[in-house]
Amino acid sequence: KGVADSVASAGNNKVLVTDGSGNLSPLSIGSAGQAVKVNSGANGYEFGSAGKNMVLKTMTTQSSLTATTTLIDADIVTSKANPVIQVSSLISLNTRAASNLDEENIKFDIDYSTDGGSSYTTLANDIYKTDVFSPGYSGTHSNSYDINVRPASAKTTLTGIAIGTTVNVRIRLDYSAVINSRTIFINRSPSSGSGVGSSHLLIYEE
């Protein structure tokens, strides 16, 4: 082994993989998907996660909802302890006829679980709260399908969470706010023809 001859810094073109004490370690190898990054404490470089830790999920299955339920969810495996996570989502709420939906209150909640979904903690309540007017309710709607894309987002620090923890994040419809037990449609097609809309969930560590 030899001693690293310079201090590593961003943009430095010398790749010196160290053993943690400033010494070269020829047996040090990375794992699939890792990148070489600066290790300022060892005055060299080390292998680590490449890029941002993020998960994107898209849902295109049509659903007709009449109860509180999960709209979309995804798992992220933490790359650090006590991570700060950002959740961003677009939910496609689609309604069809005045008899189906009539100025209903729509609310989303964001929850997360660290025990495989056995229990959930609320990240944010009523993260998006809106009235949705059905087609035919006013002159601004046609008597066909009505597409309402609604954002939901939140940011939080997950304290007490270890590296490598699988965190499940879900966007949930709070059906208790819906008037007269109307049906809420998710990812319905924009017409009576073929095709469906889509909803997206993005989770990433800062």
Give 99-145 pLDDT, tens digit per residue. Answer: 555 556 778 899 999 999 999 999 888 776 665 554 444 444 444 55
Which single residue is written with the structure tokens 């964001």?
110
pTM: 0.68
Q: Residues 6 or more apart from 191 whose CB is under 8 A from it?
A: 144, 145
Strands (E), the chain: 34-39, 44-49, 54-59, 63-65, 69-77, 84-95, 104-113, 121-132, 146-157, 166-173, 184-186, 199-205
Output 128 or 63, whichever has higher pLDDT: 63
Two tokens, residue 141 = 């709607």
User: Contact at 8 Å (CB) between 197 and 60?
Assistant: yes
Mean pLDDT for all residues in the chain: 74
Which single residue is written with the structure tokens 């830790």?
53
Two tokens, residue 197 = 């809309």
Q: How many residues are listed for the chain in this entry?
A: 206
Two tokens, residue 42 = 């060892």
Distance CA 148, CA 139 (A): 16
Q: How confident is the model at residue 23 (pLDDT cuts 50, 70, 90)?
A: low
Which single residue is written with the structure tokens 């059906």?
175
Distance CA 67, CA 174 (A): 8
Q: Is the pLDDT of residue 206 over 90?
A: no
Two tokens, residue 58 = 């898209």
Distance CA 9, CA 138 (A): 62
Q: What is the dihedral of CA 135, 186, 130, 96, to 10 degrees?
A: 10
